[in-house]
Amino acid sequence: MSTLGKVLAVFNVLAAIAFLVVAAMDYYSRQSWAYSHFRHELALHGLPIDPQDDSWRLPGRSISAAFGRDANKDLFPPNGGPATQEDEVRGTATAMKQGVDGAADINAKRAIIAEHLLPELSRAEERDEVLRELLALKDQAGVDALMNRFNGIAERALNPRADREARRRAIADFLYNFEYSAERHARVERVVGLEQYVAAAERHVVRLRDMIARDQRVMADEQTSFVAQYQGTLPELTILGDQLKALQDKLIEQKDLVQKHTALRNARQAEVNTLNTQLAEAKQSVARERAALAGIQRELFAVQQDVAEAQARNQQLERELRNKESGK
- What average pLDDT does this structure show over 86-99? 95
Mapping DSSP to helix (H, G, I), strand (E, B) and coil, where does residue 123 land? coil
- What average pLDDT does this structure show over 216-241? 86
- Give which of 128, 142, 136 is closest to 100, Cα–Cα: 142
Among 80-84, 263-267, 278-282, 317-321, name the one with the lowest average pLDDT.
317-321
pLDDT tens digits, one per residue of 28-65? 555 455 556 667 788 888 888 888 887 766 566 677 77
pLDDT tens digits, one per residue of 96-130? 999 999 999 999 999 999 999 999 998 888 989 99
Residue type, 279: L
From residue 170, give the alpha-carbon distance in Å to each of 166, 167, 189, 213.
6, 5, 14, 24
Q: How much is the pLDDT for 100? A: 95
- What average pLDDT does this structure show over 277-286? 89
